Structure 1
Amino acid sequence: MSDQPACCVPAGLDARSGAAPAAPPAELRGTDPSAMAAIPAGRAVLGDHFGDGYAGDGERPVHEVELSAFLLGTTTVTNAAFAAFVDATGHRTTAETEGYSAVFHTDVAAPLADVLGYSPATPWWVGVRGADWRHPEGPLSDLADRADHPVVHVSHDDALAFARWAGRRLPTEAEWEYAARGGLAAKRYPWGDDLMADGAWRCNIFQGSFPASNTAEDGWTTTAPVTAYSPNGYGLHQMVGNVWEWCADWFDPGAYTDRPRRDPRGPASGTVRVMRGGSFLCHDSYCNRYRVAARSAAPPDSSASNLGFRCAADATTEKEIDA
């Protein structure tokens, strides 16, 4: 498949690169209420087995890895969990500090004066003043009835801050894909090779004609509750679709060509961080990155209405691992 521009996060909106947050003082540390699944140690063959991906994403070569046991959140971090973190620490997200974030064009809930402009490369993304985790579509939106939806408009820096507060970490890219496969080998999705099962949608992605109109055949035009779909073989919900998930690794499209076999991590440095899983805006006509092998990346201070995260931890302790 040929390369295509990234529809997943805004291209061309002013992205700034900030320093990663330090671990909070002990008195400000708290608890992530998300349930954690025990992911067993094992071997897995990771990467694109079907040739479905975009060459520039670096989904190949297919390669075997060996991973130690670890823990992974059964869901992405919810609005309720993130609110507890903010209440305890006073944390202000990148979007709140900068005063705006990116919202998909059909979802904007803001006065015209708060619509700051479009991304030249991906004009369906709109910069909206006042869009942040409390106001996912803009200042005229809120979190009513969305406590159990994934928190969005969180940068990699924000995700790290939450994880460190909770005594956890972000998953490595290899851990994420291994867990997303749920014990299945060489499959496109966490449940198998077919996108739909028994005529039912198994994940929250874009239906209709992208980017003009979402017919919401799966029941959702934006995020869905974090347990809205059945879990995979490891008890993990929505490893594809709903929201993109930040990983710990710096992104390198050539990372798989000379990758350590045992507990691999990404490059020591970089300019963009790995995102995995796709989101409610993925559509096979433009961005089929809702596969377990699919990769994407964004600057660590990026935020958008389809970007969230889940936490990981070591199997024996939940100590922090610096990213």
Structure 2
Amino acid sequence: MICQDSFELRRAFPGLDINPRLIFDHPSIEQLSEAIVKLPERSEAGNTSTGGSTGESSATYVSRFTQLTHGEAPEFKYGSTSIEDIFVRKSDGMECVMIPAARARIGNDGMHYQAGDNEGPSHEVELDAFLMDIEPVCVGAYARFLNLVNPNQDQLSDWCILPEEDERCCHVPIIFTENGWQAKTGVPANWPMILVSWYGANAYALWTHGQDWSQYKSAAVSFLPTEAQWEYAARGPKTAKFPWGDSDASEELLNVCWEISTYEGVSHVATPLTELPIVAVNLQLGVSPFGLRGMAGNVWQWCRDSYHENFYLSSEASFPNAWNSEGDAKSERGGSWVGPCDLARSSYRRGRIPEAKGRCLGFRCAVMVADAPGM
């Protein structure tokens, strides 16, 4: 049986009352191969022609790709770059943007645009300065991580490997070879890592900050962004609908599913991995006021927090630290290539169990400046 995203189920069965914040692991849409952006593993700044789902083309800027996809033992600290407020995490080559301390307005009361009940009430959160990955962690970087930490089979199953009977096995973007883990043939190393659980994301985030990655199930320490950090990094001091503001979404701004009619019960299981409409992490789409890429569309991103539908009604919602308990469902943000642009709004929130792995789900890391090694 193929489980579907709740958005798809509501379209297929309009008479059902389905919670839009519940998520399943088998998103389903018609093949959108014309929306694929094929990029080299490493691209210098320039333009590339991207075909959208309508067949029209547009010029989309490609940023320099810095994540490390090969190499030996890492150096666990941050270093400065030639650009102010951008630092490099030497363990994996990721460029990170310093987000200044702020009293951030989080959530949406539906005053300017329609919002879900779980997005309000809006509230203020005191945020210390933190570093946020400029883009989601890519396939090549995750394969390098696996080669360096050499996890056992149980850990791999927790993180990024599916059981043989799972029909999504063909979409796992990495493979173990005689040379270790690497991206599957035809999969760009700079695609976002997908089909990675919260445990797998947390393990990477712990490792890349020099912490004990074997404690990936623990809620005590994590270097995934809190919901408040993620939302503020996505839209900045203005409580706008999208990272770029309140203007309408377009293919030049983010990678989502534009042909909503393709949702009608059509599965992506038969679509070859390399033909999924995923784009590279260094493409200038979903760009936030702080210059972060992929903060709307392409892949959902795990957050540190436990997810609760009514969390914003509690006093803890205004606390700067994540509300996080081991084993709880975890929050995800950002929207993806599977769903419509409405799910890519900066305040839109939903959750999955930490074991969940999705073809439209990835992650990025964050760390408070005070806790960043070498800062």
Q: TM-score, normalised by structure 1?
A: 0.72
Evaluate the alpha carbon distance shift between residue 267 and residue 9 of structure 1 in structure 2; reply closer, same or farther with a 3 A threshold.
same
Find the counterpart in structure 1 of residue 131 from structure 2.
71
Indicate yes or no: 2:271 matched with 1:211: no
> 1:143, 1:275 → 2: CA distance?
29
Greater shift in the superposed pair: 227-236 or 164-173: 227-236
Indicate yes or no: 2:335 matched with 1:278: yes
Find the counterpart in structure 1 of residue 307 from structure 2.
251
CA deviation digits over 1:145-198, x for unaligned, max 9? 511110001000000111111017111111111111134x1210000112336x
Indicate yes or no: 2:130 matched with 1:90: no
- Given that 1:252 and 1:266 are in contact with CA atoms closer than 8 Å, whether structure 2 keeps it comes out as no
Q: Cα offset for 1:264?
A: 4.0
- Given that 1:242 and 1:280 are in contact with CA atoms closer than 8 Å, whether structure 2 keeps it comes out as yes
- Given that 1:28 and 1:89 are in contact with CA atoms closer than 8 Å, whether structure 2 keeps it comes out as no
Evaluate the alpha carbon distance shift between residue 143 and residue 293 of structure 1 in structure 2; reply closer, same or farther with a 3 A threshold.
farther
Match among 219, 222, 233 for residue 179 of structure 1: 233
Evaluate the alpha carbon distance shift between residue 308 and residue 181 of structure 1 in structure 2; reply closer, same or farther with a 3 A threshold.
same
Between Structure 1 and Structure 2, whose CA radius of gyration is higher?
A: 2
CA deviation digits over 1:104-134, x for unaligned, max 9? xxxxxxxxxx6x5xxxxxxxxxx43454231
Find the counterpart in structure 2 of residue 195 from structure 1.
248
Match among 54, 60, 70 for residue 116 of structure 2: 54
Match among 352, 360, 371 for residue 306 of structure 1: 360
Q: Cα offset for 1:62?
A: 1.0
**Amino acid in the other structure paired with 1:89:** V
What is the SS of the residue equivalent to 2:231? helix
CA deviation digits over 1:247-282, x for unaligned, max 9? 111111111112343414225456310111111111
Find the counterpart in structure 1 of residue 282 from structure 2.
227
How many residue pairs get aligned? The number is: 262
**Amino acid in the other structure paired with 1:152:** I
> 2:139, 2:276 → 1: CA distance?
18
Q: Cα offset for 1:10?
A: 2.3
> 2:162, 2:281 → 1: CA distance?
27
Name the one with the larger helix percent. 2
Greater shift in the superposed pair: 66-75 or 27-36: 27-36
Indicate yes or no: 2:320 matched with 1:263: yes
Match among 100, 124, 130 for residue 40 of structure 1: 100
Q: Cα offset for 1:33?
A: 1.8
Evaluate the alpha carbon distance shift between residue 29 and residue 248 of structure 1 in structure 2; reply closer, same or farther with a 3 A threshold.
farther
What is the SS of the residue equivalent to 1:87? helix
**Amino acid in the other structure paired with 1:165:** W
Find the counterpart in structure 1 of residue 184 from structure 2.
142
Indicate yes or no: 2:128 matched with 1:128: no
Q: TM-score, normalised by structure 2?
A: 0.63
> 1:144, 1:242 → 2: CA distance?
18
**Amino acid in the other structure paired with 1:71:** L
Indicate yes or no: 2:343 matched with 1:289: yes
- Give the % identical residues: 28
Q: Cα offset for 1:35?
A: 0.6
Q: Cα offset for 1:291?
A: 0.5
Indicate yes or no: 2:25 matched with 1:10: yes
Q: Cα offset for 1:90?
A: 2.0
Structure 2: gaps of 5 or more residues:
1-16, 28-72, 77-90, 176-182, 211-222, 268-274
Find the counterpart in structure 2 of residue 152 from structure 1.
194
